[in-house]
Amino acid sequence: MKCAYCGCTQSRVVDSRQSEDATTIRRRRECENCGRRFTTYERIELVPLMVVKKDQTRVPFDINKLRAGIVKSCEKRPVSLDQIEKLVRDIERRLYAQSDSEITSKMIGELVMDGLKSVDEVAYVRFASVYRQFRDIQTFRDELNKLLSDFDSGAADGETVR
């Protein structure tokens, strides 16, 4: 590792710590030439994911775009940033766990809807209305009926109903 102060490539690690989410290691290093200390971060390099859109074009997966869509759906709802971040991390983990380096936008949308359904039903319907491109009130009503049906069957199975 090159020293940030003198450019020497000889340094020794004096301290290593894992980040809270266990995705990064922070290393304090000391330069063998000038003796000054600096910090480096080490993380796993992931294979880039490509998203195949509806029109078959391919774009790199963008976690910030995913987060922005979820945040927009949860606007003015009682959903904490921690819940949103947990959902974003869970979706990202599930996408990278796929054996393929290409994922469809449909797969991402379904994962978001599944996650939002368990976090906040209104945020779920907001996201679904954009994602599924509801064209009329009947399509919107059908989606709400499906949600209510899932809700009723969960209550009948003994699940806790909010």
Per-residue pLDDT tens over the stretch 23-82: 789 999 999 999 999 999 898 877 789 999 999 999 999 999 999 999 999 999 999 999
The CA angle 149-151-152, to the nearest 5 degrees, is 65
> What pLDDT digit, counting tens, does each position of 68-90 carry?
999 999 999 999 999 999 999 99
pLDDT band for position 155 (cuts 50, 70, 90): low
By the 8 A CB rule, do 14 and 30 touch? yes
Counting Cα atoms < 13 Å in the Cβ hemisphere of 58 gives: 6
Buried/exposed code over 134-152 (b: 16+ C-beta within 10 A; e: otherwise)? beeeeeeeebeeeeeeeee
Q: β-strand 24-31 against 37-43: which pairing, if any?
A: antiparallel
What pLDDT does 139 receive? 78
Neighbours of 59 (CB within 10 A): 11
